Structures are given as C-alpha cells and as structure tokens.
Structure 1
Amino acid sequence: MQDRHISRRAMLIGAGATAAWAASPARALLQQVAEIPLPADVAALPGRMTVEEKAGQLTLMAAAWAGGAAVSLNPAGAAGSFDQQLADVRAGRLTGVFNGNGTAMAKAMQTAAMRQGRLKIPLLFAADIIHGFRTVFPMPLAEAASFDPELARRTARAAGTEAAAAGIDWTFAPMVDIARDQRWGRGVEGAGEDVLLGRIMADARVRGFQGTRGLAAPDAVASCAKHFAAYGAAEAGLDYNTVDVSERTLREVYFPPFEAAFAAGSPTTMASFNELSGIPATANEWLLTQVLRREWGFGGLVVSDYTGDEELIAHGFAADAREATKLAFMAGVDMSMQSGFYLKHLPTLVAAGEVPMARVDEAVRRVLALKVALGLFDDPFRRIDPRREKTQIRTRAHLDLAREAGVRSIVMLKNDGGLLPLPRAGKRIALIGPFARGQHDLIGPWNVYGTDAEAVDLLTGMQAAVADRTAITVVDGSGIDAPLPGGIQAAVAAAQAADVVVLAIGETQRMSGEAQSRTAIVVPPAQMALAEAVAATGKPVVVLLRNGRALALEGAVLAAPAILVTWFLGSQMGPAIADVLFGRESPSARLPVSFPHATGQQPYHYAHKTTGRPNPPGAPQEYKTHYQEVPNDALFPFGHGLTYGRIAYAGLETGGGTLAAGGTLTVRATVTNSGTRAADEVVQLYVQDVTASITRPVRELKAFRRVRVPAGASQVVEFTLRRSDLTFIGRDLKPIVEPGRFRLWIAPSAQAEGVAGEFTLA
C-alpha cells in the first residue's frame, strides 16, 4: 500500500492519537454513518454507564458452558467457570458469549442479565455456524462447486433457522476470503479462487442467514463477513502467516466479496489474524477506518478474531496488553473477542486521555444498535425457546436439503468410457478405502454442533441404493496415513472378486480447516499404495475423493477411468454420493478451485497474467514461462466438471461485436446434449481485456448460467455484457473502463475453448 497510509497509521499510534482521531476531516461522516437511530431509552444507556460497563459491552468471551465440539476448535484458554460468567453478566462485564450450549445455557445467562444486571442490557449469543448447525450441509467450498447461489441461500437459511432455535443471535459466517493457494487449510470455509463466484456466494449466504423478515425475526441470525482482509493471501499457504499484496490486488481480488456481503446487509465484520503489508489487520487504521468506514460507509460492528488483539504482541507490533488494546481499538475494532483486553485496559486508557470517550461511546452504540436490530431489547428471550429447539432442528426438510445440496456439490472430473453411473443391480462392487465406512470424516471441519455420529456414511448410502446389499463387499485396505496389516492383500482379493471397484480415499477433516496447512496437497502415501495395488488388478476403478481443498492427483488415482470429488458433504454424505454414483441424480457441480498438476504450482489460479514471455500452446520452449516438470496450467481447471450427458458448444453470436459506451452487448452460444441422459450444464462466460493500461488476466469469469439440457436437445444460452462488467482498478487505484479489443469465451471451464470470439468496447 502507499506510504501515505503507513504514515497515517504512525501518526495515530503516536502521542497525538487522541487529537488525530478527533480532528479527522472525515469524522463527521463517520459519525453519521455509524449512528444508527436507537430508541430513546437505548440511546440514553451510554450516558448511564460507567466506563467499565462500556468496556463490558465491548467484550465477548467463549462460553464457559460450551456446546458440542467448541472446546477443540480454538486454542486452549481459560474460559472460567459458568458461575464466574454469570457474575460477569450481573456486573455488566460481558456483552455476550459464543459457541455456548443451547437454550438452557442462554436462558440462565439472559435471565441473570435482565433480572440482576444494573442496566438490564440483553446479552448477545454468537456461534460459528459455518456450514450448518445440527443439520450439516456441504462445506462452503463444496457448496460453491454447485455454482448455485440460490442453493447456498437455502442452506444458510436452514442453518440460521436451526441456530436461532437454539438461542443464537449472531453467526461468525460467511467466510468470504478468496483462496488461491490450496495449501491453506481455511480455503474449505470459502468459495474458492474466483472473485465473481466469491461475491455471489457471499451475497447469497448473508441473505440466507438473515432471512427476509429483518434481523428481529425469531428465525434470523446476524451474519459476520470474515476475515477482513486478505487472510486467504497468507504466504506459502501457511495459516496466520504474513500477507503482503498491493492495494490494487486488495481492491480487485480481496475486497469485492466483502463489499457484496455488506451490500447484502451483513451488519458485522471480523478483523483477520494476518498482517497486511506490515500492519496487522487488527490494528490497521487504513483498513478498518479509512477504507471500511470512510470510503465504504460501513456503519456496522467490527469484532476481533479470537484473541486477535492479544496477538498484536506476538506480531511485534505492540509492546504489551495495554498498547495492544489501544492500537486495536483506535484502528477500528469495536469488540474484543476472548482476550479480555478491552475490559482490563480501556478504562485506564480513557482515564489517561489516550482513548477518547467519544470513540468508546461510538463502539458501544454499534453494539447496542446490533442488539436493537436483533430485537433483543424488545424481547431478550425471542430466540431462547426450548420448544423450538426440540422441533426446528434436524427436521426432515432440512435433512432432505442436505442431501440435495450434497448431490449438487459433487464434481465429476473423469468418466472415461461412460463407467458411471453404476447399475443398481447385476454388478459385484468392491468398496475399498479408509473412507468406505464408519461415522468419521463426514461433516467436515469447522462444525461446532453437528456430529459424524448423526451423519450417514458411504457404505450405508450405497447399500440403500442397490438392489442387493450383499453385492457390495467392503474392505478398508489401508489407514489414512499408514498401512494396515494385511490391508492391501484383502483389498486386492476383494477387487479381483468384483466387477468394479469403488475406491474411497483422500483427506481427513482434520487435514483441512484452521491451522491445517499442508506442504504437499496429495493423497497420503499409504492410500496411494492401496490405489496402485487395486489398479494393478485390472478392474475398473471409480475414485471417490474426500477432500477439503484441491489436490494434486497422480499415479493410479489420476489414471482411474472415473473420479468424483465428493468433498465433505455433511449429514447426508452417504446418500448424496450414492445418488450420483448410481445415477439417481446426474452430477452437475464445477470446480471452484483449480486442481494443479503438482503442489509446487501453488499458489495457482486460472485468472493469472500472461507475463512478457508466455509459453505458446504445446511443448515448453526455452526462455518462456513454464516449469521443467509440468505445464503452466491446471490439471483440472476452475469451472471443470462433467455430467452424464454429452455436451458440445457451438454457434457463437456476438451481436455485431461492438459494445457501445452506454449500451449492452448480447452474446449467445448453442449448447447441445447428444447423450442419452438429461444434463445440468454450467455455462460460463470469460473475457480477456487484450490491451490495457494495467495488465489484465488471461481470462476472467464475467457470468455463468445453469441450464437443463434434455437428452438429444439443444439450448441457446444468452449473456448480456455491460460496460461495468469490464471495470478494473486503474493506475490511480480507482475503477476504470478502457475502450479496446476484448476476447471472450463461452465455455465449460476456464481452460476450455468452448466457442471463442472477440468484441470491441467503443
């Protein structure tokens, strides 16, 4: 970022911090945006609070009475006792808790706040509802593969309904970080590598969580777009690591999904763990105040990530807890999560004149405004209803939706010779691999309340789909990371006795998610040895990949005639896979991330630049951009995915080939299915700006459309381009559109030719 931003930050953390904040030329605008109208009695509360009570409203802690897997999903910390948290509630030292244990816990805490608290301010109950509550839906990356924002809205709506029924007001989702390095484990929580898909999914999930009746509706939960910003750009894909990217890259790649989330109504955002060009995001005034507040006009609440303010010390940015509190708070973090720093240090900072009371009141008003919007001042118990908790969670409708979402998230990478779908009868199937059976690694990472024990495994799903359950022989073959005694011999024997092998291999759910970076994004060696042995039998093999990221496939796995990417699909994983495997449903998903030839290509994304020495199509040429070992493209590109139809693209029409300055350009292609089964095709429109004042990517996704193409039929698919679709960030870091020549593709993936042409922007 530019030096002026760094110097501004330096000024704010110096001796003149208070004066600098108060004298900011944009302060009036900041107040106007942030001052959400409050009822008179609520608006009067800051004037009645002690500074300690104000700090309490800005302090969020993990629930001492924790729910589900919450205790294992964050670093070990001193949560304290439930009795101590109740005492903090009565004393006004706590605004709320997160990842608690249902309505019984929430009722006890809210009762303490409303009956015994001096000011009777309702508590806020938050949770990580990343991809479902007790009904678990496909992990967000898998759901992004559906290229179906309406599906994402529906699953988020169901998740929000269940969470609200258990007393939860606020979810720390959606994660909208763009992830272009598949070594980074947290890519599993987002929508992949593409900006457009990321924007669309961010919008859909915010609207789903919050519903259509306003945040005060009993079944609505407030969303929190995270992590602001550029967490997905961590160096070497290492979680929590340094991020150093240009301001242009921030504005073109990492900011847009957040802007989409805020436009959809997300009232909160979470500061990210990483530093950004030398300044940790949790204390980055340029990011949290200049961009978020003044430039974008965001009037909502900024919360730290788990101990994010405390980590300023380990970053080497703050000398101690007191300074860390001041830096985070003055940069724009309104609420501290888990460290307790605001409660401990804000009162003394205010007393010393180092933090203005006006800044404290501003943050408190944002907290109160969120509680007002959620309807908590009208009815603090509106989401705390044990009857709803019993009747609105894991309903049949939600489980059916989980199965539908699972089906629509499965990507078919290969289907050589039409091996799939398998017949429901007449074939002996050897189901082999460490993921073939058992209640493990089904729901995926980052789920606090769902369990594998409540999910349906692969074997159960397959047995329910076939005519004769005894036609399936199941053998583990190997462990996940280590061989099993006699495992390969048993697997080979099962394969030899079968007509077809279904090989269930991949990653555990602990190999993806927070703090789960991998240096080699490959199938573990023990499972590769199993795959090689099974392939050597000569029997046809269907590979079912369980994974939370793109993988570099090789050997017998890559050579298998059929490969399905099944991710972690949640509560109905087994039935969803069986639906596709046996043809009850046709695969229709597309890769939201590029699968590389090798780990060493990371970070990789399809929308890369050409460089000044691009390698032309074909073999590598000397002194051109290429690796020695693999092509400089994807093994399976972004947008790739097959169906049970046979799809071809033809007949490009470019509507005269000129897009007028104030007009539109309609482009069309004909999609034909010459197969014997109907197919849902995701038709994608890519554009390249051939010559520009800032170099542009080789392709950028501008639109996509899911179309149903019956067997033996054709369908004309139409897209409309506008001048605004061709915007990029110019030399002055402002959006710009430049006339000139553009290439376009209507194609089934980011590397497919499909039908290609050109147009001119006048």
Structure 2
Amino acid sequence: MKASHTRRRLALAGGTSLALLAAASACAAQAAAPLSDAAVRARADALIAQMTPEEKAGQITQYFDFTSAPDEAKRVTGEMAAGRAGSLLFVTDPAELDRLQHIAVEQTRLKIPLLFGFDVIHGLRTIMPVPIAMAASWDPKLAEDGQSVAASEARAIGLHWAFAPMVDIARDPRWGRIVEGAGEDPYLGSAMAAAQVRGFQGAYIGSPGHIIAGPKHFAGYGGALGGRDYDEVNLSDSELWNVYLKPFKAAVDAGAGNIMSAYMGLNGTPASGNRWLLTDVLRKSWGFKGFVVTDAGAAHDLMTHGFAADNQDAGVRALTAGVDMEMAPPFGESAFKTLPQSLADGKITTAQLDEAVRTVLETKIRMGLFEHPYVDVKAAQRVLDDPDHRVTARIAAERTAVLLRNEGGLLPLDRKGVKSIAVLGPLADSKRDTLGPWVFDQNNDETVTVLAGIKAKVGAGVRVDYSAGVSIPPRMFPSIFETGPMAAAPRVTVDDDTEIQRAVKLARAADIAVLVLGEGWSMAGEQASRSSFDLPGRQQELLDAVTATGKPVIVLLMSARPLELKGRKPQALMDIWYPGSQGGAAVANLLFGEVSPGGKLPYTWPRDIGQVPLPYAHLTSFQPKTAEQRYWNEPNSPLYPFGYGLSYSTFAFSNLRIDKARVALNEAVPVSVDVKNIGARKADEVAQLYIHQRYGTAARPVRELKGFQRITLNPGESRTVHFLLKPEDLSYWASSTRSFVQDQTVFDVFAGDDSTASLTGSFEVKQP
C-alpha cells in the first residue's frame, strides 16, 4: 500500500493526528498482516475522541435494510447518512453494498465505513449441506472448507461478517433450529464450532477472502422447553458448563471475532441482559476480545420479557450486561438509540459506552475497512463463478449422507442391471427444498435435484420416470421466511389422489423405486419447531402404497431431524439432509456406488417422539438393568444410536490399547485401536472413542465422546487410529464444588463405530 493512498484513506477515516498517521503507516508497511493490539486500540481511541454520544450510539447499532420495503430502507439510509448506523444487514447485492458504503465513507462526518453482516449459514451462492449435515460427516476439515468457500463468496460481494456458526447444543429434535447446529454432543459440537470459525475467518481477523465468524446464540438456546423456539431455558450449572457452553468456549478459543446473544430467558434472566453470561463468563473467564451483538430485537425485547421497564431501560440493561451492538428490530424501535439520553441521565458512563464502541471500531480496523471499504463488482463475479466451489459442495454432500438401512445389500445399485427407475416424492425435483432453509438468494440454474442427478448419472440407456406423488402441505402457522420481504419459492403442490396413483403405476413399471421424502425447507430452522415426527402431509400414504407394490424401494430422507416411518419399512434408507447446490449429483454418486456413504448420526434417533430428549450421554439411573423398560408399551432404546451409520463395506475394530494402566492427575492418556476393512469396497469409517468415569465428585454420564477420526480404507487394509485423552477430557464441572474438577478414579474406555461400542478397556487416575 502506497503511503499517499494510506493518507487519503486516513482522511476518509476522519483523523488527522500524528498518532493516526503513524498507525496508518504501520498498516501500510504490514500490508495484509494483522496490526498489533496496541496499534488497533490507538486508532480506535483517536476516532472515539471525536465522536458525539449520538454517533457512538449509532456506531453500535445495526439496522436491517430491506430493499423490498422502501419506507424502511429510506429511514435506515437516513440514519446511516447522519452517521448514526455502524452496521447493516440483509443486503447482498454487490452494487447496493458498494453504494451504501460510499455514502458512509464519503458523506458522513467521520467517514467511518459500515460493517455488513448476513446470515451466511451454509453458503452464499454455492450452498453447502446444512450444518447438521456437515456435523454428520464427522469431518471438521470438511466443515472448515465449506465455510471457507462461503467466506470467500461473501467477502467478494462486500460482506464482512456471518451470523454463524450456530453452536447451540440441541438434545430435543423437536426444536427447529437443530438444522443449524451440530446436534446433541458437546465434543462433536466443539470440533465443528472451531472448524467453522477457522473456515470463516482464516488465520486472523482480516485475512484476505475471509469474514468475521459470529457464533450464536449465547447461550443455552437449544434447551428451550418442549423444543419450542423462543421459549425459556432452565439448565443446571452442570448442564451449562459440561454441555451447552463447551462449543462456545471452543469457538472463542479458535478466535471468533463476534458472539451473538440469545433471545430467550436463561434460568430467569434474559440472555441479552445477563451480565453473568456476557461479562463474567465470556469476557472475564474466557478472555473474549471481540464484540457481542444481540439477535434481532433482543435488546428491545428485554421489555417483552418483563425484565426492562421501557426501551431506555432495555438499552441500559443490555449495554451494562455486556452487549456491544444492538441488532435493532426490523421496522421497530432501537433500544441503543436511547443511550445518549441515558448517558445524560447518568444511567451509563462514558467509559461504558466507549468500551462498546471501541470493540466495533477495532473490528473494522482489523478487517481493513478503512483502507479497502468498497466492492470490486467484476472481481466478485469471478469468485462467485469459481467451479471449485461447486466441487466442494458436491464432496460435502457425499460425505454427509448417513446410510441407516440397507437390507439385502440393495445399495449400491448396479448401473448395468438397472434399466428403469421411478423417482418419486415431493422433494425429488424441488430445487428450493434441496437447498434447505437459510437460503435467501437461490441459484436455480446451479441447483441439482435428486431427479436431475440421477438422470445425468444414468444417461439415455436407463428410463427414469418421475412423479411428485403428494404435496408438501402448508404450515399451520407460516414461517417468517415465507412472507414479507424474505418470501421465497412456493411449496410443491399437486393433486395428491391422482399423483399417488400415478406414482404407484410408475413404481410397478420400474426396476427400482427411489422415494425422496421428508420436510419442506420451511419446516426446519427458526420458528420451525414441531410436535410430531410423522412424515408431513400424505407422504406416509405414498410410501405405503409404493412399498406395497413389492418392488425394491430406496427412501432418501430430506430433513434435519429424526422422522418416523411407519408400516412396512423400505429395503434401503439414507438420510441426505438438505444437501445443497450439488445435492442431486452427490446422491447419484452414492446410489451407484461411486462413493460409499460414511456419515454418522450427530444425534440419537428415537423410536417415538415420546422419548425425547434421549441423549446417549445420560447418567446411570436407579435400576439401570431395567432402563429399557421405562415405558410399559415399548423399549426405551433408540431406533438408531448416536454415531450410527452404515457403509457399503464392513469394518472390524480390535486391539484397543491404553498406554498406561495408571496415570497421575493432569497427565494425558494415549489410546489406540486397530480398524480393518473386512469388506469388498473402499470406504470410510469413523473410529469413535468414548469414556465413562466410574465414581468421583459427581456422577458422570454412562458414555461421553472424547475422540473421533474419519479414515478411508481399501478392502483388506488395516490402520491403527491414535487418540489422546487430555486432562481436560477427564475433567468436568461439579455443582458441589462449583468448579472444574479432575477426580482420582477409574475410567472405562470404549472404541467402535457408534456410541454402543463394545470394545473396552480401563485405566486409573491416581495421584502418586
């Protein structure tokens, strides 16, 4: 960066002091390298010294900008042009992002650039499988690569910040937002959280082609009563520290630049006004240095919770709890806009307000926005068109599929032996549903449905017939994403009676029937909790009618939660989740054996919704020998355990080795196990390691995941998989001591291919 160019940008930043010139020169010398903390703070403080209270309050306020709502857009643009907005969200057109940034940098008094955020949940233009699917890959590097693609596309069009990853633990699959996270386990969830932060942010905040990661929703949001979105959460200290906080800690340790606070009340105190959570835990205990943003309207809604007396009180409570930026309610009143009055009234101090502003300005400085605020629209298109992004999406969809059932080895299909296929079901050719929720700008030209993928794979030599079979029914209460400025594509609608008959006719005339069933895209995500796991609409009727033909049936489930398939079971069942832009191509490769499914369930799959929540990592209860008999009408065991997933090959685990029979406190424990492919196909297996602490300060779960590795083995190949149980893996939060403890005790160790692994050993922890 040339010095003259640096000084010009400095002028735009509103500073003329020697300190600012020195900081800018240092930035120029370092080019793409990160600035020191001291240099960043000096630059931020120089700006703060020039700001009015109104500009400070604006700098820590984020507004929705809906181009489809002109009156609201006009209001927001007015606030921005007056220097009373620090961030905008929901703008994704590169030209519009560039236009707005020009206003902020060239027309406001202090020339401070805007920070643009967006819900980049599982892709921007190139859509990856949904996050719960990526967790099912048990491959953190895959999750990192996927979010790196998303980050490059987002940064290219002018976005700086993703409201992701969602790292909430979800042990009740009725909760709709299970689709955005990694499932029920804190160890798997932590690995996926850290990987996604690395993917979004790169080596440091401001890395070229990367954006800020914003882990959410801090904290406990996935524990809502009855799995009902937005409802209160009541968690013990043990659950909070040992389960729900762990993925957030992993994300912070990975360097996350932002944390989003949650909507709901946590143990009686709204999360966005919870000083213990946002300050004592996040900043003081964990040392978080980034900025905290509320979820949409969560500061304002402290009134709704009956926590704040009025909007001004809500702003004070959120700020003093540890919120640095308010995501103002769309079309609503900002709570942080009242902060100048609260400052004048003595309800907050200048230091408190400045600290919040400083965290936001420091982020903008680290992102290089003062030097490079604008969008290169032509370059953006080149990034969006990168074909390697589609390759990453296809590989991701292949590695996330979980094979649940394969009676008689129906899969993989023999391309030479299959002459006709009936592809059936309402999700088989729906591009919108293939992409899943949290996609706002779908690219239909690039989206490959299951039908399209199969047709492309088999070519003209195989007849492929199609029927939607039944409609995707409307929700009783429409999703917020189906109405207003975020309205998306219509749902699949047919004459059910006619199409069921047609589907049966096609199945009878085909060698094989492939049914693509599940939940429509709007049935997962925010405001998408449900009270049953039945197939929506008349899909069960369609399944029954097709299986009654006696033809071989493969069911591909497109959903983010367990679903109940009643009646006669299909010979093959594969969970393909919402597989994204290249989902159909990936599914075709899986069906015909070009790749073998290797995904594993990231949650426990119950037999019945009455069992939930049913986490595998539960405590040993009274009369454990009768645990299967907790219900008088059916077994209490899951239909499929946590970590379960079949392959087109078979694997054997043997020779579990624990390096030491006795170790000292705070000593690591090396463990290894041999895995052999005893089948006839090259395939992946996920070696999983679990522990159980026999006794100690508190009772511990029957099993806890503490290690996993996904490996690829050729037929007959063996490999030794190594794990290292670190002291923190053997420690836990004990409510009786209100601290983390490591006990002198005996640990059982289990290794295998899911949470019911039977290969076992043990070691003792004992202080010399």
State TM-score, norm by structure 2. Answer: 0.89
Count residues in correspondence: 706
| 2:548 match | 536
**1:595 corresponds to which residue?**
605
1:311 maps to amino acid: D
Cα 1:35–1:51 shift into 2, 3 Å: farther
Whole-angstrom CA distance in 1 between matches of 2:50 and 2:349: 17
Deviation at 1:501, TM superposition (A): 1.4
Counterpart contact for 2:41–2:362, Cα < 8 Å: no
Kindly report which structure 2 residues correspond to 1:15-414, keeping only aligned pairs within 5 A, or say none: 37-38=39-40, 40-65=42-67, 80-212=71-203, 214-339=204-329, 340-381=333-374, 384-414=375-405
Q: Equivalents in 1 of 2:461, 2:71: separation in Å?
A: 51
What displacement does 1:585 show? Answer: 0.7
Which amino acid is the alignment partner of residue 60 of structure 1? Q
SS at match of 1:224: coil
User: What is the SS of the residue equivalent to 2:384?
Assistant: coil
Distance 1:729 1:116, change over 3 A: same
Contact 2:183-2:602 at 8 Å conserved across structures: yes
Residues 751 and 36 from structure 1, CA distance in 2 versus in 1: closer, same or farther, beyond 3 angstroms? farther
d(CA) in 2 for partners of 1:547, 1:101: 27
Q: Give the letter for the 1:704 counterpart.
A: F
Instruction: Tell me if structure 2 keeps the 8 A contact 1:406–1:572.
Output: yes
1:515-542 CA distance string (max 9 Å, x none):
0000002222511111111111111211
**SS at the partner of 2:695?**
coil
Alpha-carbon distance in structure 2 between the residues aligned to 1:161 and 1:266 = 17
Q: 2:57, 2:167 → 1: CA distance?
A: 29
Q: Is this contact kept in 1: 2:604–2:638, CA < 8 A?
A: yes
Amino acid at match of 1:468: A
Q: Deviations over 1:204-225 (max 9, x none)?
A: 100111113x333341201111
Q: 5+ residue gaps in structure 2?
A: 1-35, 474-493
RMSD: 1.9
Further displaced range: 158-167 or 90-99: 90-99
Residue pair 1:90, 1:118 contacting (<8 A) in 2 also: no
2:447 is aligned with 1:435: no
The DSSP-based 3-state class of the residue aligned with 1:143 is: helix
Please give the per-residue CA displacement for 1:310-364, whole angstroms capped at 9, x wherever unaligned.
Answer: 2112211122212211111111111111234245311111111011111001111
2:592 to 576, 582, 586: 582
How far apart in 1 are the matches of 2:162 and 2:241?
26
Change beyond 3 A, Cα 1:363–1:587: same
Is 1:466 aligned with 2:448? no
**Partner letter of residue 439 of structure 1?**
K
Instruction: Return 635-644 or 664-673, whichever deviates more.
Output: 664-673
Deviation at 1:115, TM superposition (A): 1.6
Deviation at 1:87, TM superposition (A): 2.7
Q: CA deviation at 1:711?
A: 0.9
**SS of the residue aligned with 1:670?**
strand
Give the aligned residue type for 1:54. K
| Matching residue of 1:614 | 624
Aligned to 1:15: none
Name the residue aligned to 1:499.
511
Q: Which residue is equivalent to 2:740?
A: 735
Match of 2:490 in 1: none
State yes or no: 1:519 paired with 2:531.
yes
Q: Which runs of 4+ in 1 moved over 6 A?
A: none
1:488 aligned partner, one-letter code: I
**Could you tell me how far 1:129 is from its partner in structure 2?**
0.4
SS at match of 2:40: coil
Change (3 A) 1:360 1:761: same
Query: CA 1:657–1:578 in structure 2 vs 1: closer, same or farther (change >3 Å)?
Result: same
Identity of aligned residues (%): 42
Q: Distance in 2 between matches of 1:663 and 1:64?
A: 55
Opposite residue 611 of structure 1, the aligned amino acid is S
Distance 2:81 2:506 in 1: 64
| Letter of the 2:219 counterpart | A
In 2, Cα distance between the equivalents of 1:540 and 1:511? 29
* 2:581 aligned with 1:571: yes
The residue type paired with residue 478 of structure 1 is: V
Alignment partners' CA distance in 2, 1:414 and 1:529: 20
Instruction: Show the counterpart of 2:763.
Output: 759
Task: List per-residue Cα deviations over 1:112-143 (Å, max 9, x = no partner).
Answer: 12221111111111111000010000100001
Does the 8 A contact of 2:514 with 2:554 survive in 1? Answer: yes
* Whole-angstrom CA distance in 1 between matches of 2:724 and 2:254: 23
**Whole-Å separation in 2 of the counterparts to 1:178 and 1:497:** 45
Structure 1 pair 47–521 and aligned structure 2 pair: CA distance change class (3 A): same
Q: Is the 8 A contact 2:733 2:739 kept in 1?
A: yes
Q: In 2 relative to 1, CA 758–346 (structure 1 residues): closer, same or farther, beyond 3 Å?
A: same
Q: Measure how far apart 1:468 and its partner are.
A: 3.5
1:665 and 1:319, CA in 2 relative to 1: closer, same or farther beyond 3 A?
closer
After superposition, the Cα gap between the structure-2 partners of 1:39 and 1:722, relative to the gap in structure 1 and judged at 3 Å, is closer
What's the TM-score, normalizing by structure 1? 0.90
What residue identity is the alignment partner of 1:511?
M
One-letter identity of the residue aligned with 2:351:
A
Following the alignment from structure 1 to structure 2, what is the Cα–Cα distance between the partners of residues 657 and 500? 54
Distance 2:703 2:80 in 1: 54
> Which moved further from structure 2: 116-125 or 339-348?
339-348
Residues 449-493 of structure 1, C-alpha deviation per residue, up to 9 Å, x if partnerless?
Answer: 334554111111001111435422212222223971222222222
Query: In the alignment, which residue of structure 1 is the partner of 2:656?
Result: 652
C-alpha change, 1:452 and 1:726, in structure 2 (3 Å) is farther
Asked if structure 2 preserves the Cα contact closer than 8 Å seen for 1:139 and 1:188, the reply is: yes
SS of residue matched to 2:432: coil
